[in-house]
Structure 1
Amino acid sequence: MKKYILMSCFMLMFTTACNDDLLDTQPETSIPESIAFSTPEKILAQTNNLYKQLQNQSFYGGRFIVFNEQRADQFGQNDGNAATGSAVWNQNVASTNDFVNSVWSVGYTAINAANILISKMNETTVISEELAKNYIAEAKFIRAFCYFSLIQTYAKPYNQDKNALGLPLRLTPITTSGNNDLARSTVELVYNQILKDLDEAEIDLPVSYATPLLNASRAKKCTAIALKTRVLLVQNQFEKVISESEKIVSATLPFQYSEGNLVQKLEPNFAAIFGGSYTGTEAVFSIPFANSTTETPSAQYALAYNYLAQPIIFLAAEGIVSDPALNSATDARSSLIGTSAANQKVLKKFSITTAPFRDYVPVIRYSEIVLNYAEASANMDDLLMATELLKAVRNRSDPNYVFPEDEISTKEALIATIQKERDIELLGEGFRLMDLQRKVQTLPAKKGSIGTAPLVLPTSSNYIWPIPSGEIAVNKLIEPNP
Structure 2
Amino acid sequence: MKTLKRLIDSKLLIACLLISGGVTSSCSDLLKEEPKEIVIENFYQNKSDFDAATNAIYFPLRMIRSEHVAVLSAHTDWGYGRGSRAQYNDFEGFNPTNINAAASRWNSFYQGIRNANLVIEKAPMSEVLTEEEINSYSAEAKFLRALTYFDLVRNWGGVPLRTAENIDLKDVPKSSAEEVYDFILADLEAAEMYLPESAAESGRPTLWAAKTLLADVYLELEEYEMARTKAQEVIDAGAYQLVQIASVDDIREKIFGATLITSSEEIFAFKFTRQTGQGNGLPWILNHPSTGLYNFGGAYAHYGDATNPFHKEWQDGDLRKGLWQVVDFGLGDSTIVNGKYAEPQAVDNTGAGNNLPVYRYPELLLVFAEASARVEGLTEGGLEAVNQVRRRAFGLDPMVASDMDYMMDGLTLEEFLDIVLQEKAYETQFEGKRWLDLKRTGRAEELVMKNKGISIAERHYLWPIPLDELNFNEAMSPADQNPGY
- Do Structure 1 and Structure 2 share a fold, with TM-score over 0.5? yes
1:180 and 1:333, CA in 2 relative to 1: closer, same or farther beyond 3 A? same
Whole-angstrom CA distance in 2 between matches of 1:20 and 1:371: 29
8 Å Cα contact 2:117-2:167 kept in structure 1: no
Q: Equivalent residues in 2 for 1:270-289 (5 A)?
A: 271=251, 272-275=254-257, 276-289=259-272
Q: Equivalent residues in 2 for 1:325-404 (5 A)?
A: 325=315, 327-328=316-317, 331-342=318-329, 343=333, 344-352=335-343, 355=348, 356-380=351-375, 381-398=377-394, 399=396, 400-403=402-405
Give the deviation of 1:173 after TM superposition. 6.0
Code of the residue aligned with 1:396 in structure 2: it is R
Q: Equivalent residues in 2 for 1:161-200 (5 A)?
A: 166-172=158-164, 179-200=169-190
1:120 and 1:265, CA in 2 relative to 1: closer, same or farther beyond 3 A? same
8 Å Cα contact 1:112-1:173 kept in structure 2: no
1:220 and 1:209, CA in 2 relative to 1: closer, same or farther beyond 3 A? same
Gaps of 5+ in 1: 1-18, 156-165, 251-256
The alignment covers a number of residue pairs equal to 420
Which residue of 140, 143, 150 maps to 2:142? 140
Q: Is 2:305 aligned against 1:316?
A: yes
1:465 and 1:138, CA in 2 relative to 1: closer, same or farther beyond 3 A? same
Code of the residue aligned with 1:364 in structure 2: it is Y
Q: Is 2:58 aligned against 1:51?
A: yes
1:149 and 1:453, CA in 2 relative to 1: closer, same or farther beyond 3 A? farther
The aligned residue for residue 21 of structure 1 is 3
The aligned residue for residue 88 of structure 1 is 88
Gaps of 5+ in 2: 19-37, 289-297, 397-401
8 Å Cα contact 2:285-2:302 kept in structure 1: no
Whole-angstrom CA distance in 2 between matches of 1:423 and 1:320: 10
The aligned residue for residue 410 of structure 1 is 412
| TM-score where L is the length of structure 1 | 0.81
1:243-298 per-position Cα deviation (integer Å, ceiling 9, x unaligned)? 11121113xxxxxx34xxxx31211236110114140111111111134212225x
8 Å Cα contact 1:140-1:201 kept in structure 2: yes
Secondary structure of the corresponding residue to residue 362 of structure 1:
strand
The aligned residue for residue 34 of structure 2 is none
8 Å Cα contact 1:320-1:423 kept in structure 2: no
1:121-160 per-position Cα deviation (integer Å, ceiling 9, x unaligned)? 01001221101110100010011000000001111xxxxx
Whole-angstrom CA distance in 2 between matches of 1:125 and 1:264: 37
1:447 and 1:232, CA in 2 relative to 1: closer, same or farther beyond 3 A? closer
Code of the residue aligned with 2:381 in structure 1: it is M
The aligned residue for residue 296 of structure 1 is 279
Q: Is 2:233 aligned against 1:247?
A: yes
1:291 and 1:76, CA in 2 relative to 1: closer, same or farther beyond 3 A? closer
1:418 and 1:193, CA in 2 relative to 1: closer, same or farther beyond 3 A? same
Give the deviation of 1:347 after TM superposition. 1.4
Structure holding more helix per residue = 2
Code of the residue aligned with 1:467 in structure 2: it is I
Which residue of 421, 424, 427 maps to 1:422? 424
Secondary structure of the corresponding residue to residue 268 of structure 2:
strand
Whole-angstrom CA distance in 1 between matches of 2:45 and 2:267: 31
Whole-angstrom CA distance in 2 between matches of 1:408 and 1:359: 42
| TM-score where L is the length of structure 2 | 0.80
Give the deviation of 1:319 after TM superposition. 4.5
The aligned residue for residue 474 of structure 1 is 472
Secondary structure of the corresponding residue to residue 55 of structure 1:
helix
Code of the residue aligned with 2:341 in structure 1: it is F
1:95 and 1:231, CA in 2 relative to 1: closer, same or farther beyond 3 A? farther
Secondary structure of the corresponding residue to residue 191 of structure 2:
helix
Whole-angstrom CA distance in 1 between matches of 2:2 and 2:286: 31
Secondary structure of the corresponding residue to residue 269 of structure 2:
strand
1:408-461 per-position Cα deviation (integer Å, ceiling 9, x unaligned)? 72111111111111111111211111111101233465899xxx894215xx12
Code of the residue aligned with 2:285 in structure 1: it is Y
Whole-angstrom CA distance in 1 between matches of 2:427 and 2:410: 18
**Structure with greater contact order relative to length (CA < 8 Å, sep ≥ 6):** 1
8 Å Cα contact 2:390-2:405 kept in structure 1: no
CA RMSD of aligned residues (A): 2.6
1:135 and 1:407, CA in 2 relative to 1: closer, same or farther beyond 3 A? farther
Give the deviation of 1:333 after TM superposition. 2.2
